[in-house]
Amino acid sequence: MQMDKDLQARQEARDLAAAAQAAQKTLSGMSQEALDRIVENIARKFHGAALELAELAVRETGFGNVEDKITKNQFASMRVWEAVKDMKAVGVLKDVPGEKLWEIGVPVGVIAAIVPSTNPTSTVCYKAMIALKAGNAIVFSPHPKALECTMKAAKLVAKAAQEAGAPQGSVACLSIPSLDGCRELMTAPQTRLILATGGPAMVRSAYSSGKPAIGVGAGNGPAYIHRSADVDHAVECILRSKTFDNGTVCASEQSIIVEKDMEMAVRKAAAAKGFYFMNTEEAGSLAKLLFRPNGTLNPQVVGKSATTLAEMAGFSVPSFVKVLVAREQEAGPTRPYSMEKLCPVLALFVMDSEDAVLAKAVEVLEHEGSGHTFAIHAKDEAVVRKFALKIPVSRFLVNTPAALGGIGATTQLFPALTLGCGAVGGSASSNNISPMDLINIRRVAWDAEAPKKEASPCDDSLVELLTMKILERLNKE
């Protein structure tokens, strides 16, 4: 019965949260060096299982492709390890002689982590590594469509952590995919922080749980190809990004914006690389497929290839087609191509001027995607600066594939699979979430006030003598 299942899920959440709290007490007493040994072992063992986990994830969810899921698993393991291995997250972080101030990194405690179906294995590795690096225990809540692969990833990570010295319970995963179990985990007394990566409803639930939460907003990033851009390179970047794991990375481009005098050059370069510009009838058929009547994205289209999407929508395209493009001019709830589409489908906006491009990009983001990601392709640094000062995002990417640049694979951003959108996007952080987002900082501060000089016994008589001499001089004058 469903009621029995929900009760079991709630009890499991309570048990795992309690075990995680006990484990975290041990973790909190470990040195940074000891925690690093745990994190490194997780990275190496997970990297070794990248292929197996990728195949399982694609088979179970039907999202994306094995090759790119392998890359995600490798990125979430060794690339993240390279970024955190020299990072100091616990113990004394700052002690500058003369400042009379110490800063000490303190773990937040037990973390509840929501795992999305689009990144069901790589997210487990990434979140476990940044949590344990900072001395925290972590309990995962898997998506029902990705239970088997998420559980396997979590068990692999837990075993690797214990082999390197982590106490049992440091890494755990709910085995019953239930909304009640997830809510029980988020509201458990032992839970101190929620890492919410998932759909809008789940993120809202995390923020309304009464616990501190780091959530992510929708990605709906436009890509502007400026007249100063290397058009072939720009189109190649967008192709690489939008086809990576069949468009399931939330930082990937959702639209291309160009000025009118650039349209034909962009269309020509894109068509040569496998972009297919749909006619009105084809775009209308696909639009009906992309979103359900309630306005939410149809899960049947997520992570599917361009040729599969066309077939599902009732038309055919050549086998070499990689991305489907629909002409669009407006943004809003009745304009499906102006929204986030977790598949290789793009909107094309053609504007009259650079200022009109800027206004349209802001309009698109304010409809959906504020605080997330924007990409620009330009050699003119003045236009980069102009747009960077106006576009409401946390990741402003220049001449790079947005999906890979946003997560830090092709840029100097921290390598992350949880991308904060800041206050404008309804998030508690605008960072690519790292171990430094999962600690509190204890500050030890000494009295910095200058000591007051005590008056000596002769001070009063000295002042009196000086006063008399000044008066005598004045009288003589």
**Residues belonging to the active site:** 250
Tokens 């000591």, located at residue: 451
User: Which residues on adjacent β-strands are paired with residue 106?
Assistant: 440
- Measure the CA angle with vertex 168, ends 77 and 103; round to 5°: 65
Whose CA is closest to 310, among 340, 345, 280? 345
CA-CA distance, 17 to 185, in Å (whole number)? 7
364 neighbors 331 (Cβ within 8 angstroms): yes
